[in-house]
Amino acid sequence: MSIMTKELRVALAGNANVGKSVIFNQLTGLNQVVGNWPGKTVERAEGTLHFKGYAIRIIDLPGIYSLSTFSIEEIVSRDYIAVEKPDIIVNVVDASALERNLYFTLQLLELEAPIVMALNQVDYAAKKGIRINTEKLSEILGVPVVPTVAITGSGINELLTTVIAVASGEKKLQPLKVKFGVEVEKRVKKLQELVQRRLPQLCEVYPARWVATKLLERDSDVAGKLKNYEGGTEALQLAGKLAAELEKLHGEPSPVILASERYSIASKIAKEVTIVEAPPRISLEQKLDAISTHKILGYPILIGAILAMFSLIFIGGSLFSGFLESFFGNIILHIGNALAFLPSTAQSLITEGVLGGIVAGITIALPYIVPFYIILALLEDSGYLPRAAFLMDNLMHKIGLHGKAFIPLILGYGCSVPACLSCRIMETQRERLLAAFVVTLIPCAARTVVILGLVGRFVGLHAALAIYIFDLILIFILGRIAFKVLPGEPVGLIMEMPPYKKPSFKGVLTKTWSRTKDFVYVAFPIIVAGSLAITALNITGFINYITAGAKPLISGWLGLPVEAGVPLIFGVLRKELALILLSQLIPLESLSALQMIVFALVIMVYIPCIATIAALIREFGWKKATAITITDITLALLLGGIAYRILLILMPS
Partner 1 sequence: MFRNRRNAQRRGGSKNEGELYALTDLAEGEKGIMVKALGGFGLVRRLAEMGLTPGVEVKLLRKGSFGGPVEIEVRGVALALGRGVASRVLVKPSKDEHHD
Alpha helices in 91-169 (DSSP H): 98-110, 122-127, 134-141, 156-167
Closest distance of CB 495 from partner 1, Å: 5
DSSP 8-state secondary structure symbol assigned to residue 365: I
Beta bridge partners of 45: 34, 60
For residues 41 and 619, the answer to whether their CB atoms sit within 8 Å is yes
CA 326 to chain centre: 35
Determine the Cα–Cα distance for residues 293 and 551; give it in Å rounded to an integer.
Answer: 52
Please say whether the beta carbons of 51 and 58 come within 8 A.
Answer: no
* Backbone phi and psi for residue 49, each to the nearest 5 degrees, phi listed first: -140, 155
Of 394, 540, 544, 634, which one interacts with partner 1 (CB under 8 A)? 394
389 or 528, CB closer to partner 1? Answer: 389
CB of 423: closest distance to partner 1 in angstroms? 18
Stretch that binds partner 1, among 153-161, 289-297, 465-473, 474-482 (CB under 8 A): 289-297
Q: Which stretch binds partner 1 (CB under 8 A): 199-207, 238-246, 253-261, 415-423?
A: 253-261
Interface residue with partner 1 among 87, 110, 393, 619 (CB under 8 A) is 393
Write down the least CB distance from residue 64 to partner 1, Å. Answer: 10
Please report the DSSP string for 572-596 in residue order.
TT-HHHHHHHHHHHS-GGGS-HHHH
Q: Which of 98, 226, 369, 527 binds partner 1 (CB under 8 A)?
A: 98
Contacting residue, 19, 403, 565, 567, with partner 1 by CB under 8 A? 403
**Rounded CA separation 432/408 (Å):** 10
Window contacting partner 1 (CB under 8 A); options: 149-157, 311-319, 383-391, 593-601 = 383-391
Q: What is the C-alpha separation between 417 and 411, in angstroms, rounded?
A: 9
DSSP 227: T
Give the one residue of 161, 283, 293, 592 binding partner 1; rule: CB under 8 A: 293
Among 80, 103, 519, 606, binds partner 1 (CB under 8 A): 103
Contact flag: residue 386 with partner 1 (CB under 8 A): yes
Q: Does 429 bind partner 1 (CB under 8 A)?
A: no
User: Given the complex with partner 1, which of 84 and 496 has the nearer CB atom?
Assistant: 496
Residues 498-557 that bind partner 1 (CB under 8 A): 498-499
| Residues between 186 and 205 with contacts to partner 1, criterion CB under 8 A | none
Nearer to partner 1, 203 or 495 (CB): 495
Which lies closer to partner 1 via its Cβ, residue 185 or residue 252? 252
Using DSSP's 3-state secondary structure scheme, residue 33 falls into strand
632 binds partner 1 (CB under 8 A): no
Residue 120 or 162: which CB sits closer to partner 1?
120
Contact (Cβ atoms closer than 8 angstroms) between residue 59 and residue 10: yes
Alpha-carbon dihedral sign for residues 51, 52, 56, 61? negative
Residue in 278, 338, 494, 650 binding partner 1, rule: CB under 8 A: 494
Among 38, 83, 80, 29, smallest CA distance to 59 is for: 80
CB burial readout 507-520, b (16+ within 10 A) else e: bbebbbebbbeebb
CB 309 → partner 1: shortest distance, Å?
Answer: 22
Q: Which of 135, 252, 272, 277 binds partner 1 (CB under 8 A)?
A: 252
Nearer to partner 1, 30 or 256 (CB): 256
Q: What residues pair up with 35 in beta bridges, in sequence order?
A: 44
Q: Contact between 324 and partner 1 (CB under 8 A)?
A: no
Amino acid code (one letter) for 116: V
The residue within the footprint of partner 1, chosen from 190, 397, 457, 618 (CB under 8 A), is 397
Amino acid at 480: R
Part of the chain binding partner 1 (CB under 8 A), chosen from 23-31, 135-143, 162-170, 490-498: 490-498
Told to check if 13 binds partner 1 by CB under 8 A, we report no
Q: What is the DSSP letter of 413?
A: T
Q: Least distance to partner 1 from the beta carbon of 543, Å?
A: 53
How far apart, in whole angstroms, are the C-alpha atoms of residue 64 and residue 77?
Answer: 9
Contact residue for partner 1 among 295, 334, 484, 623 (CB under 8 A): 295
Query: Nearest Cα to 411, choosing from 440, 451, 450?
Result: 440
Interface with partner 1 (CB under 8 A), residue from 123, 133, 156, 263? 263
The kind and range of the H/E element at 540 are helix 505-540
| Closest to partner 1 by CB, 465 or 497 | 497
How many other CB atoms sit within 10 Å of the CB of residue 249? 11
Least Å distance, CB 181 to partner 1, is 13
Number of residues located near partner 1, criterion CB under 8 A: 40
Q: Which of 9, 44, 85, 100 binds partner 1 (CB under 8 A)?
A: 100
- Half-sphere exposure (Cβ direction) of 183: Cα atoms closer than 13 Å: 13
Q: Determine the Cα–Cα distance for residues 348 and 415; give it in Å rounded to an integer.
A: 31
Among positions 63-82, residues that touch partner 1 (CB under 8 A) are 65-66, 68, 70
> At closest approach, how far in Å is the CB of 485 from partner 1?
21
Residue selected from 492, 525, 556, 621 as contacting partner 1 according to rule CB under 8 A:
492
Q: Find the part of the chain contacting partner 1 (CB under 8 A) among 232-240, 367-375, 394-402, 602-610.
A: 394-402
Q: What is the C-alpha to C-alpha distance for residues 60 and 1, in angstroms, rounded to an integer? A: 25
Among 78, 198, 214, 402, contact with partner 1 (rule: CB under 8 A): 402
Q: Considering the complex, what minimum distance in angstroms separates the CB of residue 407 from partner 1?
A: 13
Residue 57's H or E segment, with its range, is strand 54-60
d(CA 207, CA 82): 8
If binding is defined by CB under 8 A, does position 54 make contact with partner 1?
A: no
Q: Which stretch binds partner 1 (CB under 8 A): 44-52, 393-401, 519-527, 573-581?
A: 393-401
360 part of the interface to partner 1, by CB under 8 A: no
CA distance 405 to 423: 7
Q: In whole angstroms, what is the distance from residue 360 CA to residue 350 CA?
A: 14
* 172 versus 295: smaller Cβ distance to partner 1: 295
Q: How far is CA 64 from each of CA 20, 192, 380, 631, rounded to the nearest angstrom?
A: 11, 26, 17, 35
495 is a site residue for partner 1 (CB under 8 A): yes
CB 467 within 8 A of CB 602: no
DSSP annotation of 154: B
Based on the shown chain and the rule CB under 8 A, indicate whether residue 617 belongs to the binding site for partner 1.
Answer: no
CA distances (Å), 580 to each of 131, 173, 356, 572, 587, in order? 59, 62, 10, 13, 11
Task: Quote the CA–CA distance of 81 and 86 in Å, as a whole number.
Answer: 6
Which residues lie near partner 1 (CB under 8 A)?
65-66, 68, 70, 96-100, 103, 252-253, 255-256, 259-260, 263, 267, 290, 293, 295-296, 298, 386, 389-391, 393-394, 397, 402-403, 492-499
